[in-house]
Amino acid sequence: MSALSTQHLLGIKDITLQDIQLIFKTADNFKQVINRPIKKVPSLRDVTIANVFFENSTRTKISFELAEKRLSADVVNFSSSSSSVKKGETLIDTVNNILAMKVDMVVMRHPAPGAHQFLARHISANIVNAGDGTHEHPTQALLDAYSLQEKLGDLKDRKIVIVGDILHSRVALSNIYCLQKLGAKVRVCGPPTLLPKFIHSLGVEVSHNLIESLQWCDAANMLRIQLERQEDKYFPSLREYSLQYGVNLELLKKLKKNIVIMHPGPINRGVEITSDVADSDQSIILDQVENGVAIRMSVLYLLAGKKIE
Amino acid sequence: MKRIILEYQQVDLILTRICHELVEKHGDFKNAALIALQPRGVFLGKVIQTKLNTLFNITTPCGELDTTFHRDDFRRNDKPLIPNVMNINFEIEGKDIILIDDVLYTGRSIRAALDAINDFGRPASMELVTLINRKYKREVPIHPDYVGENVDSRTDDYVKVDWNENKCKVWIITDKSK
């Protein structure tokens, strides 16, 4: 197999099916590495990576940092809350300053959709998108699809439903692109106020009926209700949302088939899914977290092999 | 120009000789194990493993070691380095490990292999089997313990070990355009 078709991972939309398959195949090797007594390889020992987070993150940041350390890269962490961004420094100045310290790769999370494209045009480092506003979160989509593939086998013609807040979710958009590239059938399900207007143009099915969607699918990705992005009220109350679109064990039992339950985290227990569902055998939430490190190692390794001219 | 330097039968004889040498050193292989290097050493490893069994009734595991993540030419080479499968499902701590590769040339793959093995534990000792020992361009101080054939080749020559199921012959290609 050849190399990645891109020097940056800005979004799933820009990469090819071959890229996704190469990332998965390489992740298999890294999964083996992180399950060994010595969970580290020296591949990126001469690479310095800056984790630049303009938005809060625990899981993604830790996952990236761990992936970088497992690859022996040098890591610098930067978060906007404790930096000169507060003093009015622009994005490009901030990142150029970091690059002047000879950084080879930048992993960035930024609230503005497209911030990474802007950066990729202006600086000479491999850029990995760790989430840009409500646009894309490519590594999350890759680890979701990788975990699903581990559970279900080939995803071609498999049916996946993404439930919840599609409007504010970068995970949803990246997931839709990724699953469709792998040949899966994707449906989104949620209250009409939380589905974006253009959703039909992505070629997904749309439903507002959770039970019917669960009957239809092989796997359900339960998105988090992003309370921090909802200045306006999109539904009357969390309790009502949970009654209409929350999954509990009773509901799963009624389906008379075993579907896979996923969640990108952090879980609002009792809102999107109840605790007993999150901790059930059908849930692959913790597999997703483990695979997250392997997928991110794979992405960083493959991008590091692509030198920036 | 392309010519054969070892035919199927010669390779077979050589591998039989190497198996004898291995048994002379390691006896019943109670504390020894084979580890072949991905990708091309694996064919050789399997043949040696089978031969040890047919000739001496010795059963020994043969691991597959991938050195991609330990290579020293990552980001220094235009070609992408894509890893292969790693398969070592036995304990190597305290064992006498016999590394197997088809061609020893610059020695850098073996250097990476010595590094990669450390991730699995600390063997009691390590030795190296190579079918072809190409001289004149060693870049690290590594020397094989069991050699099939020493080949004096120019640096722009190419030595090809051509596997056909469990047999192989060895070519030397002196004109790169072929």
Residue A78's CATH number = 3.40.50.1370
Which pTM does this prediction carry? 0.88
- Shortest distance between the Cα of B169 and any Cα of chain A, in A, equals 26
Asked whether residue A147 falls in the same domain as residue A242, the answer is yes
Asked whether residue A151 falls in the same domain as residue A271, the answer is yes
pLDDT: is B171 or B148 the higher one?
B148
- What was the pLDDT predicted at B7? 87
| Alpha helix segments (H runs only) across chain A | 17-34, 59-70, 91-100, 115-122, 138-152, 170-181, 210-216, 238-245, 249-254, 275-278, 285-304
Query: Does the beta-carbon distance from A42 to B120 stay under 8 Å?
Result: no
Q: CB-based contact (8 Å) between B108 and chain A?
A: no
CB count in 10 Å sphere of residue B21: 14
Calculate mean pLDDT across residues A51-73.
92
**Does any domain span residue A106?**
yes
Q: Give tens-digit pLDDT for A117-154.
A: 988 888 889 999 999 988 999 999 999 999 999 999 99
Asked whether residue A46 falls in the same domain as residue A150, the answer is no
Return the top range by mean pLDDT from A168-177, A225-234, A235-244: A168-177
**How many domains in chain A?**
2
| Residues A164 and A272 sit within 8 Å (Cβ to Cβ) | yes
Asked whether residue A238 falls in the same domain as residue A165, the answer is yes
Please, what is the average pLDDT of chain B? 90
Asked whether residue A163 falls in the same domain as residue A282, the answer is yes
pLDDT band at B98 (very low <50, low <70, confident <90, very high): very high
Q: Which residue has the tokens 């030397």?
A: B172
Asked whether residue A163 falls in the same domain as residue A262, the answer is yes
In this structure, what CATH number is given to the domain that contains residue B33? 3.40.50.2020
- What was the pLDDT predicted at A98? 79
**Does any domain span residue B77?**
yes
Instruction: Look up residue B43 and give its two tokens.
Output: 């064919």
* Residue A70 clears pLDDT 90, i.e. is over it: yes
Q: Where are the beta strands (DSSP E) in B105-166?
A: 125-134, 146-151, 158-164
Amino acid identity for residue B17 in this structure: R
Q: How far apart are CA A5 and CA B116, in angstroms?
A: 28
Q: How far apart are CA A140 and CA A1, in angstroms?
A: 23
- What was the pLDDT predicted at A309? 62
* Residue B160 clears pLDDT 60, i.e. is over it: yes
| Residues A133 and A123 sit within 8 Å (Cβ to Cβ) | no
- What was the pLDDT predicted at B119? 85
**Does any domain span residue B45?**
yes
- Shortest distance between the Cα of B116 and any Cα of chain A, in A, equals 8
Calculate mean pLDDT across residues A75-81.
84
Q: Residue B70: list chain A partners with CB under 8 A.
A: 41-43
What sign does the CA torsion over A31, A175, A168, A299 have?
A: positive
Asked whether residue A173 falls in the same domain as residue A284, the answer is yes
Q: What percent of chain A clears pLDDT 90, i.e. is strictly above it?
A: 67
Residue of B nearest to A71 (CA): B69
- Shortest distance between the Cα of B124 and any Cα of chain A, in A, equals 18
Asked whether residue A185 falls in the same domain as residue A200, the answer is yes
Asked whether residue A51 falls in the same domain as residue A88, the answer is yes
**Does any domain span residue B68?**
yes
Contacts of A208 (CB under 8 A, 6+ apart): A189, A190, A191, A192
**Does any domain span residue A158?**
yes
**How many domains in chain B?**
1
- What was the pLDDT predicted at A20? 97
Q: Residue B82: list chain A partners with CB under 8 A.
A: 1, 3, 22, 25-26
Query: Does the beta-carbon distance from B81 to A305 stay under 8 Å?
Result: yes
Q: CB-based contact (8 Å) between B176 and chain A?
A: no
Please, what is the average pLDDT of chain A? 90
**Does any domain span residue B3?**
no
- Shortest distance between the Cα of B46 and any Cα of chain A, in A, equals 22
Asked whether residue A67 falls in the same domain as residue A150, the answer is no
Q: CB-based contact (8 Å) between B121 and chain A?
A: yes
Distances (CA, A) of A95 to A50, A79, A85, B35: 9, 12, 11, 46
pLDDT band at A82 (very low <50, low <70, confident <90, very high): low
**Does any domain span residue B62?**
yes
Query: Does the beta-carbon distance from B75 to A32 stay under 8 Å?
Result: no
Q: What percent of chain B clears pLDDT 70, i.e. is strictly above it?
A: 98
Q: Under DSSP, is residue B157 helix (H, G, I), strand (E, B) or coil?
A: coil
**Does any domain span residue B133?**
yes
**Does any domain span residue A113?**
yes
- What was the pLDDT predicted at A291? 96
Q: Give tens-digit pLDDT for B19-35.
A: 999 999 999 999 999 99
Residue of B nearest to A297 (CA): B69
Q: CB-based contact (8 Å) between B115 and chain A?
A: yes
**Which of A60-64, A107-111, B58-62, B118-122 is least confident?**
B118-122
Q: Chain centroid to CA A95: how far? A: 23
Instruction: Look up residue A294 and give its two tokens.
Output: 């392997």
* Residue B175 clears pLDDT 90, i.e. is over it: no
Q: Report the residue of A26, A68, A104 to disrupt the B interface, i.e. the one with the largest count of B CBs within 10 Å.
A: A26
CB proximity under 8 Å: B 57-86 to A: 66, 68-70, 74-75, 80-86
* Residue B108 clears pLDDT 90, i.e. is over it: yes
**Nearest CB partner across the interface for B74, out of A25, A38, A305:** A305
Calculate mean pLDDT across residues A76-82.
80
Q: How far apart are CA A199 and CA A259, in angstroms?
A: 24
Calculate mean pLDDT across residues A46-54.
92
Domain that holds residue B66: 26-154
Task: Give A104-149 as a DSSP string.
Answer: -EEEEEESSTTHHHHHHHH-SSEEEEEEETTS--HHHHHHHHHHHH
Residue of A nearest to B112 (CA): A42
* Residue A267 clears pLDDT 80, i.e. is over it: yes
**Nearest CB partner across the interface for B69, out of A3, A43, A47:** A43
Asked whether residue A151 falls in the same domain as residue A120, the answer is no
Asked whether residue A99 falls in the same domain as residue A181, the answer is no
Q: CB-based contact (8 Å) between B8 and chain A?
A: no
- What was the pLDDT predicted at A102? 83
Q: How far apart are CA A182 and CA A174, in angstroms?
A: 12
Domain that holds residue A241: 138-288
Q: What angle do CA A190, A194, A196 make, to 5 degrees?
A: 110
Calculate mean pLDDT across residues A160-184.
94
pLDDT: is A122 or B52 the higher one?
B52
